[in-house]
Amino acid sequence: MKHNIKFLIFRIFFNVLLWGIFFVTLYNLIQKDLTLDGKLEITSDLNKKNPFISVIFPEHRAIKKDNYYEINDEPVYFTVRSPINFNRAEVNIEFDPGKQESISVGYADNKEVWSYKIHTIYNETLNNIKWATLTDEKNTLWQKNKDFISIDDFYQKIQKLDGVAAHDFNLGEHFYIKDYKKSEKQIEINHCLRGELKFYTYIKDETLDFTFTVYDINRTSGSDNIFIKVYDNSNRVIYSKMIEDSNKKTDGADENAKYVSILIPNLKEGVYKIEFLTNDDNIIRTIKTSQNLFSIIDVAYLCDNPEYAYKFFNLGFKPSEIYAVGNTLSFYTAHKNGLQNISINGKNVSVAKQHNWYNFENGSQMAKILIPKNDIKISTRGLMSFSKDMYFNPEIVNLENYSESHDIKYLIAQYKIPEKIKDNWQKNTVYFDLNDAKIENGNLKFIISSPKLKFNKGFIKIKNISVKLISDEQISKHGAYQRLFDPILKKISTNYNNFINKISNIWHLK
């Protein structure tokens, strides 16, 4: 009897303890969700479930290891609970970059279906610049000569300086070409290009005019949609459209060409970026344009090769000549027809195996690349064109990748060199304004991207993520509880009314 009483007392005590822990945990979660001070700080080692931050996904790109995630392809994502609309975010990530050159982090904004505002969290090239540096909370200034003692001093004189370049930083000025003359005739770029294409062009007193002749070779299943975006020199989307593909089969190349046109009159003088976003099933056979400057960004996939010997393509199987500026030039082919020797300023790179990347360290000089057989994907963090006359570099102002140049005296970046922890582990913080952030199902969505990851078969390791969300609005406890419970009460009320209506309808039928 005494044993039963003791056991009963123990059970009651244990149950009370469990309920106590439950209510304390629930209370703490509610208090955190209320964000009375306008701040929400979340830290996760990614090993345990956290109600405020997800794991990294998709799981086929983010492989869970003992105490970190190994990222083998990009992009990957994570979400953060956002119980209110926050104005700013600070995201701190502990990572091992492996052999990657750069890593970026961003948040989903509400401008496009797939649109992210991105900042750099790791850049190997910037880390290795030997110039004198100045820093503040978010930014770093590199200067060839020690002309300034603070970044504030630099800001005050920035508009009067020559040789200023920026990375991930709005200078408040734009790139202009002195004595630029528009083309008097239409130009045809008769090079076969496969898949996605991004490039810069320049406009002055002329219409932005491009027509792409596109064929769908239908080698992979699914829709081969095309998305067109045009950005002005402030990196704002001024034009976008989608060309939908209804054929999801792998039934061979479609001999009916699509003619995708961009025609925008009355644009201000300056640089415009155009993105032709699609998969590798779409091939651009020709580009007709009234513009005479055309610089491809980062990647070009040349396909004037017997691998694509469709009669209606009318390919000439002629060699390609490319002019490129980028520190590292990388070459890849997926087919036997693409195995070849490539000449770069008279030096040979042998593409000897399929599905391998072959690198050439080019430095900052312009490379003349001769590709005899095509079916080659060229990748570099830089620019390239089909002739010297068409090549231009607007990134001297908004620099994507630093290289030694006599024209650059100052480089300002919203970037700080990461703090080293142990071995190759590092951590860094990026800062975001969230005024245009997209909130879906009460969550902010973040992206982690490393452009070369999918090409070089490398990986990134990520161990810890900390996110600090900040709102400028202060709210009372009563207002916070009202904000928390009003949607719940509203949903209960709606469900109750729906239930009553169903009962009434059933009763009416009887």
**436 band by pLDDT with thresholds 50, 70 and 90:** confident
pLDDT in tens, 11-23: 666 666 666 555 5
What confidence tens digit (pLDDT) does each residue in 142-159 have?
Answer: 999 999 999 988 888 876
Write down the pLDDT at residue 415.
94
How does strand 140-143 pair with strand 410-413? antiparallel
Render pLDDT for 101-132 as a digit per residue (tens, 0 to 9).
Answer: 899 999 998 876 678 889 999 998 889 888 99
Q: Cβ contacts of residue 85 below 8 Å, gap of 6+?
A: 434, 437, 439, 471
Write out the DSSP string of 391-437. ---GGGTB-SS----TT-SEEEES--PPEEEETTEEEEEEEEE-TTB
Under DSSP, is residue 160 helix (H, G, I), strand (E, B) or coil?
helix
Residue 86 is predicted with a pLDDT of 86
Q: What average pLDDT score do residues 352-371 get?
A: 90
Residue 406 is predicted with a pLDDT of 56
Supply 251's token pair.
């039934």
The predicted-structure confidence for 73-83, as pLDDT tens digits, reads as follows 889 999 998 87
More confident residue, 305 or 491: 305
pLDDT, residue 106, reads: 94
Identify the pLDDT of residue 211.
96
For residue 503, is pLDDT > 80?
no
> Residue 271: beta bridge partners?
202
Angle at 123 between CA 121 and CA 125, to 5 degrees: 165
Entry pTM: 0.63
**pLDDT tens per residue across span 84-104:** 788 899 999 999 999 898 999
CA 201 to chain centre: 21
Rg (CA), the chain: 28
Q: Which residues 6+ apart lie within 8 Å of 38 measured at CB? A: 470, 471, 472, 473, 474, 475
Percent of the chain with pLDDT over 90: 49
pLDDT confidence of residue 396:
65
What is the distance between the alpha carbons of residues 295 and 198, in angstroms, rounded to a whole number? 9
Asked whether the bond before 75 is cis by omega within 30 degrees of 0, the reply is: yes
pLDDT band at 30 (very low <50, low <70, confident <90, very high): very low
Return d(Cα 201, Cα 180) in angstroms, integer.
12
What is the predicted pLDDT for the residue at 22?
A: 53
CA–CA distance, 222 with 248 (Å, rounded to integer): 4
User: What is the pLDDT confidence band of residue 184, given thresholds at 50, 70 and 90?
Assistant: confident
Residue 228 in this model has a pLDDT that exceeds 90: yes
- Distance between CA atoms of 101 and 467, rounded to whole angstroms? 24
Beta strands at 116-123 and 358-361: parallel, antiparallel or unpaired: unpaired
- Which band of pLDDT confidence, cut at 50, 70 and 90, is reported for residue 508? low
C-alpha dist (Å) from residue 292 to 213, 395, 480: 18, 18, 58
Q: Is the pLDDT of residue 136 over 60?
A: yes
pLDDT of residue 34: 45
pLDDT confidence bin for 482, thresholds 50/70/90: low
DSSP-derived letter for residue 47 is S
| Pairwise CA distance, residues 27 & 448, whole Å | 33
CB-based contact 203:269 (threshold 8 Å): yes
pLDDT at 491 over 70: no
When the pLDDT of each residue in the chain is averaged and rounded to a whole number, the result is 84
Query: What tens digit of pLDDT does each residue of 239-260 get?
Result: 999 998 877 777 778 888 899 9
Average pLDDT of the residues in 298-323? 89
Question: What is the model's pLDDT at position 166?
Answer: 83
Task: Evaluate if residue 169 carries a pLDDT over 90.
Answer: no
Beta carbons of 460 and 48 less than 8 angstroms apart: no
Please say whether the beta carbons of 463 and 46 come within 8 A: yes
Average pLDDT in the 345-368 region?
91
